[in-house]
Amino acid sequence: RDDLRGRSPYGAPQLDVPVQLNTNENPYPPTPELVEDLAQAVRRAGAGLNRYPDRDAVELRKDLADYLGHGLTAENLWAANGSNEIIQQILQAFGGPGRSALGFEPSYSMHSIIAGSTSTRWIAAEREADFGLDPARAIAVIEAHEPDLVFLTSPNNPTGTALPLDVIAEVLAVAPGMVVVDEAYAEFARAGTASALSLLPGHDRLIVTRTMSKAFAMAGTRVGYLAAHPAVIDALLLVRLPYHLSALTQAAARVALAHRETLLGTVDALRAERDATVEWLRGRGLRVADSDANFVLFGEFGDRHDVWRRLLDRGVLIREVGPEGWLRVTIGTPEEMAAFRAALTEVIQ
């Protein structure tokens, strides 16, 4: 199994240790009420499992549109097995042999990995030293390469950086093809951070992707989605596999959306824990990236692998990702963060 993992370009270790702060999940499991509603929904869907699911996931898309607001309707929404599959469908539809996609790194590695697996040429542009984008430099690199797709991630993984809306608008104005704004962590952004969803009216080359794996605490269900002009969704229909989203997945996602008040109720606590973590790490004299997400990137270590390994020896799994020398910790429960702080104190003293 380890041999097979070594061959996968996606490198997050899945280890059974007490404190797992490495894949940006929400640490709070579903409440008993949600589990009960899920069980009932599975029972209802189970009675019809001899039939294929709704291949257009119409009810789920209506619920997602209702959640997002911004005047969006089911025709603007599309869902798949995690936003990873959403990204794959986007690259299958708009990328491919002879086409290119550009992203600003460090960023979410699956953008370039899926570009590679769809034979889309990947153009790695760079973020600034503060992990943000300088509009003039971003525009220059887009004009130089004329990519078929531009990936912006806001808040960005692994840095936590949110992009101001005017920077996204400037990119949209010059990009010759599709602009994908990956907003997997949107719900964790600090007050005043606008979503690219507000730019959708009138922009038919903009795609905003989201997920239920993070703030919604449903990573195991595998539901990602996008909002875009209906013509974008028509293009995805040409590449999606029919019945890609199981009836059980659709039912579970709809139950989670119905419970959104409770699920998203964990976001405030996670934001507060994040801000406290940033402050604590800075208090240790470390460099820490400002974060609008449910994780924090910090450094710089001469040998980050050694720090990562010694944290793991203490039962705390974080992630070796981002620029050399930096590490990323996902925000967990107060108890998990206390364990992280205690372990890191021992490791770096």
Locate all alpha helices (DSSP H) within 284-333, ordered by sequence.
304-313
**How many Å apart are CA 135 and CA 167, to the nearest integer?**
6
Which one, of 193, 196, 145, lies nearest residue 172 by Cα?
A: 196
Rounded to a whole number of angstroms, the distance between the first and last alpha carbons of the chain is 36
CB closer to ligand PLP, 53 vs 106: 106
**How many Å apart are CA 27 and CA 18, to the nearest integer?**
12
CB closer to ligand PLP, 147 vs 155: 155
Q: Is residue 312 classed as helix, strand or coil in its secondary structure?
A: helix
**How many Å apart are CA 245 and CA 263, to the nearest integer?**
22
The binding site for ligand PLP (CB under 6 A) comprises 24, 82-84, 108, 153, 157, 182, 184, 211, 213, 219, 224
For the chain, the C-alpha Rg in angstroms (whole number) is 20
Q: 317-348 in b/e burial notation, b at 16+ Cβ within 10 A?
A: bbbbbbbeebbbbbbbeeebbebbbebbeebe
Least distance (Å) between residue 303 CB and ligand PLP? 25
Least distance (Å) between residue 184 CB and ligand PLP? 4
CB closer to ligand PLP, 85 vs 148: 85
CB closer to ligand PLP, 174 vs 219: 219
Least distance (Å) between residue 319 CB and ligand PLP? 10
Least distance (Å) between residue 50 CB and ligand PLP? 29
- The residue nearest ligand PLP at its CB is 82
**How many Å apart are CA 347 and CA 188, to the nearest integer?**
29
Characterize the bridge pairing of strands 224-228 and 77-80.
Answer: antiparallel
Least distance (Å) between residue 146 CB and ligand PLP? 24
Least distance (Å) between residue 345 CB and ligand PLP? 27
CB closer to ligand PLP, 113 vs 172: 113
CB closer to ligand PLP, 77 vs 280: 77
